[in-house]
Chains A and B, each alone.
Chain A
Amino acid sequence: MSEKVFIIQSSPHFQDKDSVPKIMFTVIFALLPAVVASVYFFRLRAVGLYVSCLVACFATEAIFLWVRKKPFQSLWDGSVVITGLLLAMTLPPTLSLELAVIGSIVAVAIGKQVFGGLGHNIFNPALVGRAFLQTAFPVAMTTWLPPATLAVDTATYATPLGNLKFQEAVVQGTLTPIKQLFWGNSGGCIGETSAIALLLGALLLLTKKTIDWRIPAGILLALTAFTGIFWLAGPDKYASPAFHILAGGLLIGAFYMATDMVTSPIHPKGIWIYALGIGIMVGLVRLFGGFSEGVMYSILFMNTFVPLLNRTFRPRILGERRKIT
């Protein structure tokens, strides 16, 4: 008999081909239309932001892995690319590149690595970076430019939501038209303006089941219901739900940030609470808060509840009569 050595391993011996890097690169691929759109609308400023965020995120991750003596594996799994892309996409076109680099360092260092790297963070890293910039450099983070495709010559330019909040756009009749929001020909953070490009990528993520449909569905549902009630009660004072969905960072937040697997709940019940919570929070901030936009803080706020939601709810075990929670 041959003295051959065989591998001993625990069952199962079959494994699906999908993997963490594959999931990450699907998300990156889905973000590409919006990246292209942002470069089209904001030209070199967008390119500069992408390059500085990606390089800074990548470098920060590498340094942290080296200091923590961890395998460099997670440098190549694509997660740091997503963080860099998403952070750049949520920055205003006027932002200086040094600030973008600072934001990137905070995103990866404070948002991800201090918790232990991929899979262990509580908050969406890109949003942590952005929240830091927003608090530390509020003026720089709210200075906007019209897109290069829009022939307006003004020193300052407001986002559609800023217009709505601070210029009483509905009363004045200067609300940005839906069509303009849909294609992306309006002011705002570079990656959030083009609804069509974001939806195109979202379609891919939904069909490939990379993201849970419940999260965007819950957010859109809650926001539509919340803003819809006010709009129906006072259409001369409040913007329509369609405007709220297409304007600002709602779509990029709902489809690409709230859906981050690591920082969203794992079972359906928790997911619904999380998603509806974000939708309502966004509505609250936009209608009654001090900021014109609330997607970032809403997602970060609901992120904090994820561990609690994961521990409170669990699916019903087959054969279990009543739930034990």
Chain B
Amino acid sequence: MKTKTFPHGIHPPEGKESTAEKKLEVLPPPEKVVIPLHQHFGNPAELLVKKGEEVFFGQKIGEATSLFSASVHASVSGKVLSVDGHNHPLGKPVLSVTLANDGKDRVFPEWEDTVDPLALEPDQIRKKVKDAGIVGLGGAAFPTAVKITPPKDKPIDTIIINGCECEPILTADYRLMMEYPDEILKGAELVRIATGADRILVGIEDNKKKAFDLLQQKAASYSAEVFLVKTKYPQGAEKNLIYALLGREVPRGGLPFDVGVVVQNVGTAKAVWDAAKTGKPLYERALTVSGDGVKEPKNLIVRIGTPFQAVTDCCGGLSEDVNMIIMGGPMMGLSQWALDVPVIKGTSGILAWASPRPIMEFACIRCSRCIEHCPMGLVPTQLMKYVKYEQLSNAENWGALDCVECGSCQYSCPAKIPLVHWIRLGKNQIMSQKRKKSA
């Protein structure tokens, strides 16, 4: 079978060997968890608890009050120690609930099993997903309930389950596929029912042949088709994966809805199944702890709100020379300035290494490698120049807002220009101009 793929893209070093064959371990819940009310794309959840209150394991502590939001839940049982601004992986302090773990995991009484989740109605599935506060676990943390509620005028025919894990180093999704194939496929089936789609396609990069074989073997009983896609970054980017598997192009500024597709990460599919089956909210997630600076790289299942420090301690700690901590993958992850930030729903990995001294930036020599590698067909060097010289309308015409910030351009830039940074700045400026105009 020919492996499917998309045009352009890059081949960064994979670095998955150190954790690929390490089974997911459950990290014991820490003594204290910090649960930010804002862990997702959209608006923060509204606070439901007070300082000093006792909460159950799995109790809702933040309510999604608007459409683009997701509820948050207590990941341990215990007392609310404080409700205040706390360091957050995204950089700014965010209103967070700090819980003291009483170690009893007293389960929230509202959790209830469903005997046959596959018999649920679409509306029931959506309600369960919303109640469980599920968001996209690939990293962008887009509220899943919104994603499985397509607008009436946009019929969905295909569900794509994203098992690419194209970010180097990360292996948590691979482990999920190896250890929970049935849950993933059943979760995909629930998504299919909720959206009224006809078929499920699973895309897995060909460096994860074992996961492909396993899922293909299971897929027959779930009416899903499994495809190998080429190992190339960013194969798992939503729009590129849709193109690779279906040859459909999501229109500029559009969503996968526009071409009749819903894409879900494998971890999200599993979370959907768990929520439907046991009523359990999203209180934990799988992540990879790796990088040269981590003494014992591992794949872990971690309670949301666990401080990074507790996670790295469990992996043998960090080496002395570590000077960089990244949440997520090396291509799109966010560097952290402290280890007291909590694991949030979008934390797909924690990486640590000793970063070499930054290399001096050269002037752009117009080698056009950024153009050659941009998976969106943009001209990063031109966008960079437009932003630098404040020609925002030109930047917009040349597709600044189409940039997915995958970093392929900057990766391949021989002049070491921070292209993504410039484009991101431009996107922010364009958006704030638009907001001003509409206000």
Interface residues of A (CB under 8 A from B): 1-2, 4-16, 18-20, 22-23, 71, 73-74, 77, 116-120, 212, 261-262, 264, 266-267, 310, 314-321, 324
B335 within 8 A of A: yes
6 A-B pairs with the lowest CB-CB distances in the bound complex, closest first:
A12-B407, A119-B363, A10-B421, A266-B368, A20-B362, A12-B331
Surface stretch bound by A, among B156-164, B205-213, B373-381:
B373-381
State which of B12, B378, B414 has its C-beta within 8 Å of the C-beta of A19. B414
Query: In the complex the two chains form, is B410's CB within 8 Å of A6's CB?
Result: no
**Which residues from chain A contact B411 at a C-beta distance below 8 Å?**
12, 14-16
A318 to B374, CA, bound (A): 10
Query: In the complex the two chains form, is A318's CB within 8 Å of B330's CB?
Result: no
Q: Which of B356-373 contact A (CB under 8 A)?
A: 358-360, 362-368, 371
Chain B residue at minimum C-beta to C-beta distance from A77: B362
15 A-B pairs with C-beta separation under 8 A: A9-B324, A10-B424, A12-B331, A14-B13, A16-B10, A16-B412, A20-B414, A23-B365, A73-B362, A118-B362, A119-B366, A262-B366, A266-B366, A319-B252, A319-B254
Beyond contacts A8-B337, A310-B382: 7 other A-B pairs, Cβ-Cβ < 8 A, are A6-B325, A6-B336, A7-B323, A10-B335, A73-B360, A318-B252, A319-B239
Known interface pairs A6-B337, A118-B363, A119-B362; A12-B420 also in contact (CB < 8 Å):
yes
B197 within 8 A of A: no
A315 to B413, CA, bound (A): 18
Smallest distance from the beta carbon of B306 to chain A beta carbons, Å? 14
Query: In the complex the two chains form, is B326's CB within 8 Å of A13's CB?
Result: yes
Query: In the complex the two chains form, is A11's CB within 8 Å of B405's CB?
Result: yes
B100 within 8 A of A: no
**Which residues from chain B contact A118 at a C-beta distance below 8 Å?**
362-363, 365
Chain A residue at minimum C-beta to C-beta distance from B362: A20
Known interface pairs A6-B338, A266-B381, A319-B239; A119-B414 also in contact (CB < 8 Å):
no
Query: In the complex the two chains form, is A261's CB within 8 Å of B368's CB?
Result: yes
Surface stretch bound by A, among B112-120, B182-190, B394-402:
B394-402
Query: In the complex the two chains form, is B249's CB within 8 Å of A11's CB?
Result: no
**Which residues from chain A contact B322 at a C-beta distance below 8 Å?**
4, 6
Query: In the complex the two chains form, is B376's CB within 8 Å of A13's CB?
Result: no
State which of B309, B376, B381 has its C-beta within 8 Å of the C-beta of A317. B376
The interface bits of chain B over 212-250 (1 if a CB of A lies within 8 angstroms of the residue's CB, else 0) are 000000000000000000000000000110010000011
Known interface pairs A118-B362, A118-B365, A119-B366; A15-B381 also in contact (CB < 8 Å):
no
**Which residues from chain A contact B405 at a C-beta distance below 8 Å?**
11
Main DSSP-derived SS at the B contact region: loop
Smallest distance from the beta carbon of B314 to chain A beta carbons, Å? 15
Query: In the complex the two chains form, is A315's CB within 8 Å of B379's CB?
Result: yes
Question: Of residues A13, A14, A116, which shows the largest number of chain B Cβ atoms within 10 Å of its Cβ?
Answer: A13
Chain A residue at minimum C-beta to C-beta distance from B91: A8
**Which residues from chain B contact A264 at a C-beta distance below 8 Å?**
366
Query: In the complex the two chains form, is B402's CB within 8 Å of A319's CB?
Result: yes
Query: In the complex the two chains form, is A119's CB within 8 Å of B252's CB?
Result: no
**Which residues from chain B contact A23 at a C-beta distance below 8 Å?**
365, 367, 414
Chain B residue at minimum C-beta to C-beta distance from A15: B411
A9 to B249, CA, bound (A): 32
A231 to B376, CA, bound (A): 45
Query: In the complex the two chains form, is A6's CB within 8 Å of B254's CB?
Result: no
**Which residues from chain B contact A10 at a C-beta distance below 8 Å?**
335, 418, 420-421, 424
Smallest distance from the beta carbon of B242 to chain A beta carbons, Å? 10
Query: In the complex the two chains form, is B414's CB within 8 Å of A318's CB?
Result: no
B30 within 8 A of A: no
**Which residues from chain A contact B326 at a C-beta distance below 8 Å?**
13
**Which residues from chain B contact A7 at a C-beta distance below 8 Å?**
323-324, 335, 355
Chain A residue at minimum C-beta to C-beta distance from B328: A11
Smallest distance from the beta carbon of A144 to chain B beta carbons, Å? 34
Query: In the complex the two chains form, is A120's CB within 8 Å of B334's CB?
Result: no
Smallest distance from the beta carbon of A120 to chain B beta carbons, Å? 7
Query: In the complex the two chains form, is B365's CB within 8 Å of A319's CB?
Result: no
Smallest distance from the beta carbon of B42 to chain A beta carbons, Å? 21
Query: In the complex the two chains form, is A15's CB within 8 Å of B379's CB?
Result: no
State which of B309, B325, B402, B421 has its C-beta within 8 Å of the C-beta of A1. B309
A264 to B381, CA, bound (A): 14
**Which residues from chain A contact B377 at a C-beta distance below 8 Å?**
315-318, 320
Smallest distance from the beta carbon of B289 to chain A beta carbons, Å? 16
**Which residues from chain B contact A117 at a C-beta distance below 8 Å?**
363
A264 to B252, CA, bound (A): 29
State which of A6, A22, A316 has its C-beta within 8 Å of the C-beta of B324. A6
B196 within 8 A of A: no
Chain B residue at minimum C-beta to C-beta distance from A118: B363
State which of B333, B379, B415, B424 has its C-beta within 8 Å of the C-beta of A267. B379
B16 within 8 A of A: no
State which of A14, A15, A19 has its C-beta within 8 Å of the C-beta of B168. A14
A19 to B367, CA, bound (A): 11
Known interface pairs A1-B309, A14-B411, A315-B371; A119-B378 also in contact (CB < 8 Å):
no
Known interface pairs A7-B323, A19-B359, A319-B402; A12-B365 also in contact (CB < 8 Å):
no
A212 to B125, CA, bound (A): 53
B52 within 8 A of A: no
A177 to B410, CA, bound (A): 49
**Which residues from chain A contact B406 at a C-beta distance below 8 Å?**
12
Chain B residue at minimum C-beta to C-beta distance from A263: B366
State which of A13, A315, A319 has its C-beta within 8 Å of the C-beta of B250. A319
Smallest distance from the beta carbon of A259 to chain B beta carbons, Å? 11
**Which residues from chain A contact B416 at a C-beta distance below 8 Å?**
15, 19
A18 to B365, CA, bound (A): 13
Known interface pairs A12-B407, A15-B416; A20-B365 also in contact (CB < 8 Å):
yes
**Which residues from chain A contact B337 at a C-beta distance below 8 Å?**
5-6, 8
Smallest distance from the beta carbon of B233 to chain A beta carbons, Å? 9
Smallest distance from the beta carbon of B66 to chain A beta carbons, Å? 28
Chain A residue at minimum C-beta to C-beta distance from B404: A318
Known interface pairs A119-B366, A264-B366, A314-B398; A22-B414 also in contact (CB < 8 Å):
yes
Query: In the complex the two chains form, is B402's CB within 8 Å of A9's CB?
Result: no
Smallest distance from the beta carbon of A10 to chain B beta carbons, Å? 4
B339 within 8 A of A: yes
A13 to B324, CA, bound (A): 10
B332 within 8 A of A: yes
B340 within 8 A of A: yes
